[in-house]
A and B are shown apart, each in its own frame.
Chain A
Amino acid sequence: MNIVIVGLNYKTAPVEIREKLSFPAQYIEEPLKRLISNYGLNEGVILSTCNRVEVLGITPDMEKGVWQIKRFLSDYHNIALETLDEHLYDRAGEDAVKHLLRVAAGLDSMIMGEPQILGQVKDSYGYAVEYNTAGVVVNKLYHKVFQVSKRIRTETKIGQAAVSISFAAVELAKKIFGDLKGKTVMLVGAGEMAELAARHLMGSGVKELLVANRTYEKAVEFVKSFCGTAIMFREYQHYLKNADIVIASTGASTFIIKPEQIKDAMKERKFKPMFFIDISVPRNIDPLVNEIDNAYVYDIDDLQGVVAANLDERKSEAVSAEKIIDEEIEKFYRWSKSLDVVPTIIALRQYCDEIRKAEVAKATQSLAGLSEKDKKVLDAMTSSIVNKILHNPIVHLKKDSSKVEGDLYIDTVRKIFELEARTEALNKANGDKD
């Protein structure tokens, strides 16, 4: 059985093309079913995100499979194949497995190592299971993918360093405070960015949220979803001493948080560290605050610098992740190659014939004085029993090998008759001939 992938991503196609090719999740059933019924694939999975559209198919013939998926994409979205073709890439066999593993691990993502893609790959597999387009190969393949992704997450640090501004802020806070439990965050100005940062911080166990906004009503509205406390804007200075993390995002055109205020607040809080995040442009926090002992000020550019540094760190981890993928691929590919129908049938016949011959030999020995003709009759009769018994199973194996459940039958036959060793030997002999 062959695994093929045809698709496009942010590297090969501009967004105008990508959006035309996307498959919205709520309508995924129809294209999935069509893929199997009209395009001769045994199994199929469709992955559609804002950065990529990929169709994975299991097919008896690699080249034909690739061609069929291309036709499917063109037909379904009503775009001429000529315009589409330059944006499409295709991977087959081992390369396809490797591609899928890299995608799932986030190695092929725009932001290296981002974790969302794994969830999207999981969803795409979920749809294939739900609408019955996943068979034994897809099942095994995707379980392998999830297992390898997990291994990469635990053995490398690829997903660890934060690559968005608000996550970077949380991570910095953790490098300063260790644990964020029991810490207090104060927002000065309640904009959208501040909300995002606050949400991440609250998610990391921050105890209290204070919100000061020029329009008090907005602050009240804001804290409702966080169970925080709204404070009057003109009073925020009095609360500075309680705040471990201060996020400023007002529209003010000057510095509103100044070194003198912080020096006073520091004394009152016995110099416990303070972390200032200034996401307003123009800036709201005087950079001189950073000169005060135990105070750390990061503005939007600094946070962007942190994100860039984290990305570099991730890239070095990608090398280790690729190594893990190479290791795992070999194991999987050996299994998927064994699912060819022809070697399975040959092995099954061989197996039965060996039993038959052994039994005939035993019988001939005990029935003394058989003529050559008798022996021939005995031989012909046993052969025909074996052939008749095997007839239906073999017909089904052949006929169903192009259906979703086909590989399941092959896999089952190989298991119950213990044909693994035989087919492997056969494959090896074939491989030598190639």
Chain B
Amino acid sequence: MSHFFLYITAALYAIATVIYTAYLFTRKDGTVIVARNIFLAAFASHTVTFISRWFEAGRTPATSLHESLTFFSWLVALLYVAILLKYKQKALGAFVTPFVLFLLITASFLPREIIPLPPVLESFWLPVHVALAFLGNAFFAVAFFLGIMYVIQERYLKSRKLRGLYFVLPSLDMIDELNYKCLQYGFALLTIVIITGAVWSEHALGSFWLWRPRQIWSLITWFLYAALLHGRITSGWRGKKAAILSGVAFIVLLGSFILINLVAGGAHGLSR
């Protein structure tokens, strides 16, 4: 069931990506509305995929890398839907959709069997911890794309040659504000996740802090984002500087996630 929907979802995201790309070139309002509607259809199908996988596995589907990427990409899409509802930012979709598609395609090439959950992970904390962690990362991912948008728009305005994407991208202020909000939410979630992770670790493994790679990298990204937010508040690291730094921080985050999962196997190496 979930496999079938996974293909439909990926196909819809692919179509949406193509139309979003066409929009960036033609800049027709009609085109972006079609793209958005297909994106929303893809998101609905994505939701079905996720829920059916949940039933098939009988637990939160976020232990193998395949499941994690499907879940994470769903949260990124969900976040974009929320931004769309609140801020009506259509152009952002052209950046987020290909990313979601990329995550899903990667997920579809990874082994999909349902791995039995190791007993240490069987807990009320699993869905909470995992959902909050991925949601936090989704905020950072969206902040990353907003950063890219900012850098592009800033270049147009600095170069004083206005064409192409200048006409579709929102104002610098709007992008900067959204970027800041995403960082704030992402950081708050990351903080909660590190604390709940420690509590759970104490509960299941008897110690708050085990110096596992996952924990170390979480702490590193936490410090990175903390520094970024601190700079923003106290010394006016805004605009381009903030956009680039949020990009770097996200690349570190993504890199650590992939590395740890490939080296240690899913679920922080606890499933082995």
Which residues of A are at the interface with B, using a C-beta cutoff of 8 A? 157, 161, 172, 174-179, 267, 270-273, 290, 293-294, 296, 298, 302, 305-306, 309-310, 312-313, 320
Residue of B at shortest CB range from A307?
B162
Of the residues B157, B173, B241, contact of A296 by C-beta under 8 Å: B157
Question: Is B157 a contact partner of A313 (Cβ separation < 8 A)?
Answer: no
* A residues in contact with B163, CB < 8 Å: 309, 312
Residue of B at shortest CB range from A291?
B158
Question: Is A172 a contact partner of B239 (Cβ separation < 8 A)?
Answer: no
Question: Is A175 a contact partner of B172 (Cβ separation < 8 A)?
Answer: yes
* A residues in contact with B212, CB < 8 Å: none
Given A174-B171, A177-B171, A178-B173, A271–B236 Cβ distance below 8 Å? yes
Supply 12 further A-B pairs (C-beta < 8 A) apart from A176-B171, A294-B239, A302-B160. A157-B29, A174-B171, A176-B173, A177-B172, A271-B239, A273-B239, A290-B158, A293-B240, A305-B162, A310-B162, A312-B163, A320-B28
| Size class of the contact patch on chain B | 20 to 34
Residue of B at shortest CB range from A310?
B162
Question: Is B171 a contact partner of A293 (Cβ separation < 8 A)?
Answer: no
Q: Does B174 contact A (CB under 8 A)?
A: yes
Given A309-B162, A309-B163, A175–B157 Cβ distance below 8 Å? yes
Chain B 158-198 interface mask (CB, 8 Å, partner A; 1/0): 10111100110011111001000000000000000000000
* B residues in contact with A313, CB < 8 Å: 27, 167
Secondary structure call for the A interface: helix
- Give the docked Cα–Cα distance between A312 and B157 (Å): 18
Which residues of B are at the interface with A, using a C-beta cutoff of 8 A? 27-29, 153, 157-158, 160-163, 166-167, 170-174, 177, 235-241
Of the residues B160, B162, B171, B240, contact of A294 by C-beta under 8 Å: B240
Question: Is A298 a contact partner of B160 (Cβ separation < 8 A)?
Answer: yes
Question: Is A175 a contact partner of B166 (Cβ separation < 8 A)?
Answer: yes
CB distance from B83 to the nearest CB of A (A): 15
CB distance from A175 to the nearest CB of B (A): 5
Q: Which 10 A-B pairs have the closest CB atoms?
A: A270-B236, A178-B173, A271-B236, A178-B171, A302-B160, A178-B174, A309-B162, A294-B239, A175-B171, A177-B173
Chosen A-B contacts, 8 in total, with CB atoms closer than 8 Å, are A175-B153, A175-B166, A178-B171, A270-B238, A293-B240, A296-B157, A306-B162, A313-B167
- Give the docked Cα–Cα distance between A265 and B177 (Å): 22
CB distance from B174 to the nearest CB of A (A): 5
- Give the docked Cα–Cα distance between A271 and B163 (Å): 26
- Give the docked Cα–Cα distance between A310 and B241 (Å): 29
Question: Is B167 a contact partner of A305 (Cβ separation < 8 A)?
Answer: no
- Give the docked Cα–Cα distance between A397 and B185 (Å): 75
- Give the docked Cα–Cα distance between A267 and B162 (Å): 28
Select the residue from B27, B171, B174 with max chain A CB neighbours within 10 A.
B171
Of the residues B28, B29, B172, B241, contact of A176 by C-beta under 8 Å: B172
CB distance from B36 to the nearest CB of A (A): 17
- Give the docked Cα–Cα distance between A302 and B160 (Å): 6
* B residues in contact with A320, CB < 8 Å: 28
- Give the docked Cα–Cα distance between A178 and B150 (Å): 13
- Give the docked Cα–Cα distance between A270 and B171 (Å): 19
Of the residues B27, B160, B173, contact of A179 by C-beta under 8 Å: B173
* A residues in contact with B238, CB < 8 Å: 270-272, 294
Of the residues B28, B157, B161, B177, contact of A172 by C-beta under 8 Å: B157
Question: Is A273 a contact partner of B173 (Cβ separation < 8 A)?
Answer: yes
CB distance from A189 to the nearest CB of B (A): 22
Residue of B at shortest CB range from A296?
B157
* B residues in contact with A306, CB < 8 Å: 160, 162
* A residues in contact with B166, CB < 8 Å: 175
* B residues in contact with A294, CB < 8 Å: 238-240
Residue of A at shortest CB range from B163?
A309
* A residues in contact with B174, CB < 8 Å: 178
* A residues in contact with B160, CB < 8 Å: 290, 298, 302, 305-306
- Give the docked Cα–Cα distance between A310 and B28 (Å): 15
* B residues in contact with A305, CB < 8 Å: 160-162
CB distance from A52 to the nearest CB of B (A): 30
CB distance from A228 to the nearest CB of B (A): 23
CB distance from A305 to the nearest CB of B (A): 7
- Give the docked Cα–Cα distance between A292 and B118 (Å): 56
* B residues in contact with A178, CB < 8 Å: 170-174, 177
Given A175-B166, A273-B172, A293–B239 Cβ distance below 8 Å? yes
CB distance from B151 to the nearest CB of A (A): 12
CB distance from B181 to the nearest CB of A (A): 14
- Give the docked Cα–Cα distance between A294 and B243 (Å): 12
* A residues in contact with B167, CB < 8 Å: 161, 313
- Give the docked Cα–Cα distance between A178 and B172 (Å): 7
* B residues in contact with A298, CB < 8 Å: 160
CB distance from B29 to the nearest CB of A (A): 7
Residue of A at shortest CB range from B233?
A270
* B residues in contact with A310, CB < 8 Å: 162
Question: Is B241 a contact partner of A293 (Cβ separation < 8 A)?
Answer: yes
Given A175-B166, A175-B171, A273-B172, A296–B158 Cβ distance below 8 Å? yes
- Give the docked Cα–Cα distance between A267 and B236 (Å): 8
